[in-house]
Amino acid sequence: MNLEIILHAGLATGTILLFAAIGEVLAERAGVLNLGVEGMMLLGAMTGFSVSLATGNPWFGVAMAMLAAGLLSLTHAVVTISFQADQVVSGLSLTFLGTGLALVLGNGLTGQNAALIPNFDIAGLAAIPFVGPAFFKDHSPLVYIGYIFAPLVWLYIEKTRPGMHLRAIGEKPVAADTMGVNVYALRYFYVFVGGCLAGLAGATISLSVSPGWYSAQTTSGQGWIAIGLVIFAQWNPLRAALGAYLFGALRRAILDLQGPRMILGFTNPLFINSNFGFFLQMAPYLLTILALVIGSRAAMRKRLGAPAALGEPYIRGERGL
Amino acid sequence: MALPFSVAVEKRTEDVPRWMPALTSVGSVVLAFVFSALVLWLIGVNPVQVYSFFLRATFGSWAAFSDTMVKATPLILVGLACTVAFKMKLWNIGAEGQFYMGAFFASLVVLVPLLPTNSPPAVLIPAMALMGMVGGAVWGFFPGVLKARFGVNEIITTLMLNYVAILWNNFWIFDRWSDAGFQMTPTFERNSWLPRLSDYARTYPAFSGITLHLGVIFGILAAIVVWWVMQRSRWGYEIRLIGDNPQAARYAGINIARNIVLVMMFSGALAGLAGMSEISGVVHRLQERISPGYGFTGIIVAWLAKLNPFGVILVSILFGALIVAGREVQPSGIAQLIQGFVLFAVISSDVLLRYKIHIVRGADHTAAVGESA
């Protein structure tokens, strides 16, 4: 149990959740709930890995992963924005479709070795004691991108004009429409961006953080955890990033618990019977539920929370209040 | 570019014709198979070959059809579980976990054992069925309470509990109930098995090798019960009203929080019964991967059946066939792909139920074009 190592691993695995959760924040702030994150991530992970395998260029793999997941998310956009179908069911179908596509197209990728994105140190910063080794040493460039990405998205949503439009179409699409904002086009755009980010999250897994293609095990429910984080984060990208890192660190801490013989002077039960590990593996899922309870209670108390028009199709010309 | 016709879309004001929903469901399935064929063809697999293999493996003989029905059985129960919850717009995505908990609780009866191991089947089987329902209901209770008390999104909680239920079962399979270190419990005694048609092969030779078991009767009975509750009982009326118009339900004095918990438990109980039926009727022990994702397929089944309990039975047979075929065909994932396409097609086709789309030709068309020009 080494805090520095846990933090380092937490930042790396947290980056996966960070990209996926922030993508979902953007889609949901625009008023479109997309439950297909798991499917999009899986398609992204598969695409990134196989493109890198075929071309030898992992960055090209990342780009294609984003494109593939983005295109997949457009089916959700068409069905929910244009056809005004139920966003919950459509999102679920997207999960099925993404998972199915990824498994069919990724057949035979398991056990292959693709070119991966190499880790590097940030010169200078890496020398800072404790902080340096945890934050700036031997990380994937995607992790460093994640550090600046979350604040940038926050600035974009809260402080820029397009960000204001984004908030408007998620809170009061009628008003936005009257002001001349194209609600339909923008919702398509943010669903697409959310899809691209889920694809990026998938590629972060398969090309960098835990490289390889292990069919549905590659994501193992992280897409769903990301959706849970969005609620926990109250649709705030900065809180989403913090939550993602926290979750990443906890996952690592859980792994590390299996090692030592004694913990705090007590015999480690996992050392006697490794099957107790099953209970430990439940922790991320139970913690997601706990995070949700905390998030939902805060939302109730402060009377804020989900974007007002989340889940509602916008139908021009109909009275929607 | 001027087309000789234009497409006019207008909102439906009158009721949808009764045959329309069924037709859109059938159309969605056909469309899904066409799209999947396209994907198969693109990756260099001959779709005709795959599909004809599908057909032979699922409906080609009595034994094959029986296999299909055996897979349809849990789907009927799980599809009904989703139907009940979805009627109230309660998104129970946790049927998979409730299925596993139902299997676990039913196993308690024979593995603890809660009843003497030499009890007659007439005692053991109802006890296991009851415990299965209790297990599923418990697993539905938690997300129900969290939703009712704290407004916690049930989609995520039910989904997270799926993983927890599977890990929970693993602990018992790998550890406490492990059969000589294998990752499964010992085989249950025969008196806890659901009767199968093949058990009667001595009297009726035609039944030899037909593994269809009593669980399918559970499914049909459950469909009747769900239909009755939904269409004929006061509770069903409340559930439908909450689903259609929660505001009106609140004004009518219906206790929504209580119904959330009760419906989640009812839904969970049906999924739990599916878990019991699977271990008592098919695998005859608790082991890993007793479900190839029945809980998730149940969501599509319910939706494709337009939340009609008897429609669920028909759709389950189709999806049972997909599961049977999916296990034997490569690449794996084809069945899931078709399921995804089916669900997308069916929700997209809902637009046809809400809007009238017709093709305008001749004078009306020229008028419409003239107007827009």
Of B160, B340, B347, the CB nearest to A85: B347
Residue B13 lies in a domain: no
Contact A99 B175 (CB under 8 A): no
Asked if A224 and B162 touch (Cβ cutoff 8 Å), the reply is: no
Contact A289 B299 (CB under 8 A): no
Q: pLDDT of A6-35, one tens digit each?
A: 899 999 999 999 999 999 999 999 999 999
> What pLDDT score does A200 carry?
98
Residue A268 lies in a domain: yes
Distance (Å) of CA B293 to CA A57, B304, B318: 35, 17, 15
| Chain A partners within 8 Å of B299 (Cβ) | 92
Both structure tokens of A225: 């955890």
Neighbouring-strand partners of residue B355: B11
Contact B39 A107 (CB under 8 A): no
Residue A155 lies in a domain: yes
Domain count, chain B: 1
> What pLDDT score does A320 carry?
43
Q: pLDDT of A180-200, one tens digit each?
A: 999 999 999 999 999 999 999
Rg, Å, chain B Cα set: 23
Other CB atoms within 10 Å distance of the CB of residue B282: 18
Residue in chain A lying closest to B297 (CA): A96
**DSSP β-ladder status, A262-263 and A266-267:** antiparallel
Of A101, A279, A293, the CB nearest to B171: A279
Per-residue pLDDT of chain B (373 residues; tens, 9 = 90+): 456 666 666 777 777 777 888 888 888 889 888 988 898 888 888 889 888 888 888 898 898 999 999 999 999 999 999 999 999 999 999 999 999 999 999 999 999 999 998 899 999 999 999 999 999 999 999 999 999 999 898 988 998 999 999 999 999 999 889 988 888 999 999 999 999 998 888 888 888 888 899 999 999 999 999 999 999 999 999 999 999 999 999 999 999 999 999 999 999 999 999 999 999 999 999 998 899 889 988 988 998 899 999 999 999 999 999 888 877 776 667 777 888 888 888 888 877 777 777 777 766 665 555 544 4
Give the ipTM of the model, two decimals please: 0.87
- Give every CB contact of residue B215 below 8 A, 6+ residues apart in sequence: B73, B74, B77, B194, B277, B278, B280, B281, B282
| Chain B partners within 8 Å of A222 (Cβ) | none
Q: What percent of chain A has pLDDT over 90?
A: 55
B34 in contact with A, Cβ within 8 Å: no
Minimum distance, in Å, between the CA of residue A135 and any CA atom of chain B: 30
> What pLDDT score does B272 carry?
98
Check which CATH number belongs to the domain holding B119 and give it.
1.10.3470
Q: What DSSP line would sit under A261-310, residue for residue?
A: SEETTEE-HHHH-GGGHHHHHTHHHHHHHHHHHHHHHHHHHHT--S-TTT
Asked if pLDDT for residue A140 goes beyond 60, the answer is yes
Residue B117 lies in a domain: yes
Task: Give the CA count within 13 Å in the CB-facing half-sphere of B46.
Answer: 4
> Domain span at residue A225?
3-302
Of B153, B170, B336, the CB nearest to A96: B336
Of A78, A224, A275, the CB nearest to B174: A275
Cα gap B235→A106, rounded to integer Å: 47
Check which CATH number belongs to the domain holding A184 and give it.
1.10.3470
Distance (Å) of CA B171 to CA A222, A279, A281, B166, B292: 22, 8, 11, 9, 19
> What pLDDT score does A321 carry?
39
Cα gap A142→A46, rounded to integer Å: 17
Contact B163 A227 (CB under 8 A): no
**Cis peptide leading into B113, omega within 30 of 0?**
yes
Mutate to test the interface with B, among A86, A93, A254, A310 (most CBs of B within 10 A): A93
- Give every CB contact of residue B174 below 8 A, 6+ residues apart in sequence: A275, A278, B183
Residue B249 lies in a domain: yes
A315 in contact with B, Cβ within 8 Å: no
Q: pLDDT of A82-131, one tens digit each?
A: 888 889 888 988 988 899 899 888 888 888 888 999 998 888 888 888 88
Of A86, A101, A102, the CB nearest to B347: A86
B158 in contact with A, Cβ within 8 Å: no
Minimum distance, in Å, between the CA of residue B167 and any CA atom of chain A: 6
Q: Which of residues 68-87 of A touch B (CB under 8 A)?
A: 75, 78-79, 83-86
Domain count, chain A: 1
> What pLDDT score does B301 carry?
93
Q: At what angle do helices B47-59 and B62-87 cross, to 10 degrees?
A: 90
Both structure tokens of B284: 């005859």
Minimum distance, in Å, between the CA of residue A225 and any CA atom of chain B: 8
What average pLDDT does chain A have? Answer: 89
Asked if pLDDT for residue A58 goes beyond 90, the answer is yes
| Chain A partners within 8 Å of B171 (Cβ) | 275-276, 278-279
> Domain span at residue B152?
68-358
Contact A96 B39 (CB under 8 A): no
Residue in chain A lying closest to B156 (CA): A228
Of A100, A273, A292, the CB nearest to B340: A100
Q: What DSSP line would sit under B116-165, residue for residue?
A: -TT--HHHHHHHHHHHHHHHHHHHHHHHHHHHHHH---HHHHHHHHHHHH
Minimum distance, in Å, between the CA of residue A90 and any CA atom of chain B: 7
Of B150, B161, B170, the CB nearest to A293: B150
Q: How many CB pairs under 8 A join A and B?
A: 144
